[in-house]
Amino acid sequence: MDVRLDGKVALVTGASKGIGRAIAAELAASGAQVMLSSRKQDALAEAASTMKGDVAWFAANAGDPDAAEACVGATVDQFGAVDILVNNAATNPYNGPLMDLDRPRAEKTFQVNLLGPLVWTQACWRASMQSRGGAVLNISSIGGIRGGSSALAWYSMTKAGLLHLTQSLAGELGPGVRVNAICPGVVKTDMARALWEADEEGVAQTYPLKRLGVPEDVATMAAFLASDAASWITGGVFVVDGGVLVGGAR
């Protein structure tokens, strides 16, 4: 299937590295005009310089509502609209038992991982999607489906909430706007490094496909869901995990 996004404008949060960077590159290669966003200007500029297509960047903290509004406004100013929003930015400042979780880090995780996608979607709705439609993709995690280890419990709960948010928004924003979620397994990114770096081969053997994911595995699914090829798909939760949920170790 030749997925094309010509004439579409995409905004990707957390786009300077990892999964977000791969998604932005895939959307641009598929013909979309793409606005990259994350907190650090230098990282955004470097990422944009490696991509083929019409790309721009705007530094914004995904957990800051004012920054979200500014970034969406800059995207409309630059490209005329926002047709595709990818809520990819996430944070995990705490690993450990819930009983030791402090409030500042709990609130930061909630602010970026769950409230953030709602705020960015609201901003895109008001700026463009309400009148011309569009597609929203929320990057969750298999931890949002099955829960995670106790060390990742709070992060996983925000990702579970993101799945419920996805389905609620799909019901509310149809028929003009489609909203779907992608749940990756362990993907070889800096954010997930602690989960795989010490024993990549050993971790991979718990997956039926016997390898860990790479960001491009998620990016191709994102491009499909953003395209007209997925025009009758909304409220969906799509697992991209090498089979670990159905045939691997917990």
Instruction: Please spell the DSSP secondary structure of 125-179, one letter per residue.
Output: IIIIIHHH-EEEEEE--THHHH---GGGHHHHHHHHHHHHHHHHHHHHHTTTEEE
Q: Look at residues 240, 249, 179, 248 and name the one whose alpha carbon lies nearest to residue 19.
A: 240
With a CB cutoff of 8 Å and minimum separation 6, the contacts of 241 are 142, 183, 184, 185, 186, 207, 213
Residues involved in catalysis? 155
- Residue 115 in any domain: the answer is yes
Residue 237: its H or E element: strand 237-240
| 3-state secondary structure (DSSP) of residue 8 | coil
What would the two tokens of residue 61 be?
Answer: 């903290």
Tell me, what's the pLDDT at 195? 64
User: Which pLDDT tens digit goes with each residue over 57-72?
Assistant: 999 999 999 999 999 9
- Do residues 128 and 83 lie in contact, with contact meaning Cβ atoms separated by under 8 Å? yes
**First-to-last C-alpha distance (Å) of the chain:** 33
Tell me, what's the pLDDT at 246? 87
User: Which pLDDT tens digit goes with each residue over 166-225?
Assistant: 999 999 999 999 999 999 998 877 776 666 566 778 888 888 898 888 999 999 999 999
- Residue 4 in any domain: the answer is no
The residue range of the domain holding 212 is 9-240
Domain total of the chain? 1
Q: Look at residues 35, 38, 40 and name the one whose alpha carbon lies nearest to residue 51.
A: 35
pTM for the structure as a whole: 0.94
What would the two tokens of residue 94 be?
Answer: 């705490």
pLDDT > 90 in the chain, percent: 82
- Residue 28 in any domain: the answer is yes
- Residue 245 in any domain: the answer is no
Alpha helix (H) ranges present in the chain? 18-29, 41-49, 65-79, 103-110, 116-124, 130-132, 143-146, 153-173, 193-196, 200-204, 215-226, 244-247
Round the average pLDDT of the chain to a whole number and report it: 93
- Residue 83 in any domain: the answer is yes
- Residue 3 in any domain: the answer is no
Which CATH number is 48's domain given? 3.40.50.720
- Residue 248 in any domain: the answer is no
d(CA 223, CA 75): 19
- Residue 166 in any domain: the answer is yes
Kindly report the length of the chain. 250
